[in-house]
Amino acid sequence: MPTPPDPAVCRALAADLRGAGFTADALREAWGEAADAAIARGLRGPAERALAGRDDALAVLARLFVLGRQQQAAAVEAALPRTTAAGLAALDLAAAAADGLIAPRALIRPQEFSDAAGEVQWWIASDLDEAALGGPLPEGHVLGVGGASLTLAGLQLPGRVGRVLDVGTGCGIQALRARRDADRVVATDLSERALHFTQLNAQLNGVDGIEMRLGSLFEPVTGEQFERIVSNPPFVITPRAEGVPAYEYRDGGLVGDALVAGFISGVGPLLAPGGVAQLLGNWEYRDGVDGLDRVRQWVAASDIPLDAWVVEREVLDPLAYAELWIRDGGTTPGPAFTRLVDAWLDDFAARGVTAVGFGYVLLHRPASAVPTLARYERVTQAVPGALGPHLQAALDAHDRLSRLDDDQLAASVLQVAPDVTEARHHLPGAEAPSVIELRQGGGFGRTLEVDPALAGLVGACDGDLSVGVLMDAIAQLLEVDAAALRADLLPRVRELLFTGFLTFA
């Protein structure tokens, strides 16, 4: 295990960052929205232009820790009076360079978000990126907070729990987020440097209750159980070929999608009854077998019966997948890029891979030991916001629905969710609509095409009359058989309750 960072120096650095107003809002104001977006694409020039001529503490720290540029030692000392350059060196965040300059050894970027407990402003340290390094990343690189990290953080279920496990913690962002709702968090990683950053970030932001353990995947927690498990594992499919970088933060060292397969089939024993595991992953479309069908096989291979909800968000062809992850490592087009593309394509061809899917996996260990949820779906539209509360509401609805037979559901009183709207499309001059759509403003932002009977039922669900009474009235209005209509509508009502278009009154 790495030597823990000095708590006193971490507190001093937090006080200095706070004193300098080193926040996400302040940085966006300093260099503008366009430059802020450009930084995410690896372009530092617009932000540097905006800060030109400024030597205040915010500008100095922005250049040092966000843009990864060397700064004059005197300016750094002035910006960090409590920490000093010696304190930065003690935390391995910066080091003295030639000509009286301080060189960053890590990035520190503000992260802001809100949840049910309130607004949060953190600082997250990680390794220098390719823009700061001026070239490809080293294989031991510890990634900062990227798009995948934010996605998984937004997927975490809300609600108080006892113990949470963060597998492959990296810079620790998932562990910090999980600690907001958990009594204790265990964060594991096979990289000592990753655990160093997790410890540093926890202390820098005053977050306790996170235990660090060194090791691969489930090895450090064998025999233990957790109410929640969260993981952004090294799921990227990488050729096992000479000359192909194996980045620790994204490559698990296995062939194809074997790491995700092993995680899904092996996580069950670590879940306490009623516990939930959430992860991101890639899966191959291989030899004519659909990617989601392969994930279904992995769930079925678990020794512990599990509920599963798997959402595929996108599918890439082998070439697009290769280019995405080669660029991610900092390799730009040229001979080296071409060699890496060939290695990826050869690897995919050897296994008959025609596409790669990416998505979210939610696994639940039912307390009854009898799974009742097996949902594998494709949802490719943009998602309006964090999905954690929506996922929890869907699981709660499923749990309630699994205890209701059709007669009990018909006796239930429902209401339309407040984010649902209806759109009707008419052909010119036509009295009746040719298409009726229900649109969801939250959750997955789903749009469903419905028939007049279901549209009428949803529109009448105002928390007053039962579903059965409403269906009988609609059958009479449409002059159709009431029993046949009920048999048609009730399964669709279950789906609308799960997906959040309807709620129990």
Q: Please report, for the domain that includes residue 268, its CATH number.
A: 3.40.50.150
Domain housing 100? 7-105
Q: Are strands 353-364 and 271-286 parallel, antiparallel or unpaired?
A: antiparallel
Question: Can you give the pLDDT at residue 1?
Answer: 67
Q: Do residues 190 and 316 both lie within one domain?
A: yes
Q: Do residues 322 and 421 both lie within one domain?
A: no
Residue 396 lies in a domain: no
Give the HSE-up count for residue 114: Cα atoms under 13 Å, Cβ half-sphere.
3
Q: pTM of the predicted model, to two decimals?
A: 0.94
Residue 286 lies in a domain: yes
Q: Do residues 377 and 494 both lie within one domain?
A: no
Q: Do residues 367 and 427 both lie within one domain?
A: no
Q: Do residues 327 and 459 both lie within one domain?
A: no
Last residue of a domain, one of 366, 391, 416: 391
Beta bridge partner(s), residue 323 = none
What are the DSSP calls for 434-481, one per residue? SEEEEEESSTT--EEEE-HHHHHHHHH-EEEEEHHHHHHHHHHHHT--
Question: Using CA atoms, how far apart are residues 307 and 326, in angstroms rounded to an integer?
Answer: 35
Last residue of a domain, one of 74, 105, 136: 105
- Total domain count, the chain: 3
Block mean pLDDT (10 aa), the chain, length 505? 87 97 95 93 92 95 96 97 96 94 97 82 94 87 91 94 97 96 96 96 97 95 97 94 89 92 97 97 96 98 97 97 91 91 96 97 96 97 92 97 97 97 90 91 96 96 96 95 97 98 97
Task: Count Cβ atoms below 10 Å from residue 472 Cβ, excluding itself.
Answer: 17
Task: Count Cβ atoms below 10 Å from residue 328 Cβ, excluding itself.
Answer: 16
Give yes or no for a contact between 197 and 242, defined as CB atoms under 8 angstroms apart.
no
Q: Do residues 409 and 472 both lie within one domain?
A: yes
Residue 202 lies in a domain: yes
> What are the structure tokens assigned to 399, written together?
């749990």
The H or E element that residue 143 is part of is: none
Question: Can you give the pLDDT at residue 136?
Answer: 85
Q: Do residues 385 and 411 both lie within one domain?
A: no
Q: Please report, for the domain that includes residue 478, its CATH number.
A: 3.90.930
Q: Do residues 339 and 457 both lie within one domain?
A: no
Q: Do residues 60 and 183 both lie within one domain?
A: no
Helices (H), 101-228: 130-133, 147-155, 173-179, 192-204
Question: Using CA atoms, how far apart are residues 374 and 369, in angstroms rounded to an integer?
Answer: 14
Q: Do residues 192 and 256 both lie within one domain?
A: yes
Question: Can you give the pLDDT at residue 2?
Answer: 67
Question: Can you give the pLDDT at residue 68?
Answer: 95
Sheet with 101-104, strands from edge to edge, namely 71-72, 101-104, 94-96
Question: Using CA atoms, how far apart are residues 325 and 336, in angstroms rounded to an integer?
Answer: 14
Last residue of a domain, one of 391, 416, 447: 391
